[in-house]
Amino acid sequence: MFSLDLPCKQEDQDLFSAELWEHGSLGIVELDGILRAFFADDADINWLSKDFPDVAATRADDRDWVAHARERLQPMLVGERFFLVPEWRDDPTPEGRLRISINAGMAFGTGAHETTRLCLELLERHCQPGITVGDIGTGSGILAEAAHLLQARTVVACDVDPVAVAVAAKNFSAAARGVHCFIGSADSIAAASLDLVIANITPDWLIRLAPEWQRMARPGGTAILSGIEAHDVDSVTAALTSTGAIVTAVRAENEWRALTVRFP
């Protein structure tokens, strides 16, 4: 077995991971600024020079990398309501907590990243029983599942990445059967159909889709938007306010930010 180290930004990890899985990766470990992908010794890597010209290929050591990835993913309490626990562990759910099983799998959203935690914390505040929620760029589906657990009446989740949708749909079938998941983006959601919009994606896409957040939301609706570093807050806010949306709060963890947005 050999490994490939791919330097990449956090916002590119989903795209890079999907392509690595498509080319037969046996496993992927997220390190600081790097994706380490593992392949069988006979794997064809001729595609690397075209798709990843700056990749650094190194031999993997004899460590059990599946066990290593699992060791890095531990149970965690998020906000006041959620208990995130790896699916292979049987830790009891603390009283009053909502349990979400997570896996170090193919799609972004294990809860280990600051942006996911920020969104979960804001969901506790804004997801009321009986509302309609849309999760745009759902990744693993963790935010859509959280909305379902908070008793949203309808949850719609979408992603342009078929791998992410397959992972999310599998998670929903086990834990959140009321969630509707499909391949697509915001333009597939009906106008004025959502009480709450969630998107944990890149700042560029938050800006590009600014008119869509306004279009999808019902008057008086709310959006939780994250995936934003501190230096991107002003540009994202400017794009949102240009559509008439109002940024009512900014929540921070380390260098990451999540915006709460209201639509008049």
* pTM for this entry: 0.75
Q: What is the pLDDT of residue 37?
A: 81
CATH number given to 2-70: 3.30.70.1170
Mean pLDDT of 144-162: 94
Q: Each residue of 4-38: pLDDT tens digit?
A: 788 877 767 777 777 787 778 877 777 777 888 88
- pLDDT of 233 over the 90 cut: yes
Pairwise CA distance, residues 208 & 148, whole Å: 27
Fold of 109-262: Rossmann fold (3.40.50)
H or E element that contains 102? strand 98-102
Q: Which residue has the higher pLDDT, 197 or 59?
A: 197
Domain ranges across the chain: 2-70, 109-262
In the sheet that holds 2-7, the strands lie side by side as 27-31, 34-39, 2-7, 56-59
pLDDT range class, residue 107, cuts 50, 70, 90: very low
pLDDT at position 106 is 40
Residue 68's pLDDT band, with cuts at 50, 70 and 90, is: low
Q: How far apart are CA 253 and CA 206, in angstroms?
A: 19
Residue of 147, 161, 162, 239 lying closest to 196 (CA atoms): 147
Neighbours of 193 (CB within 10 A): 15
pLDDT tens figures, 163-198:
788 888 887 876 666 789 999 999 999 999 999 999
In the prediction, which pLDDT does 3 show? 77
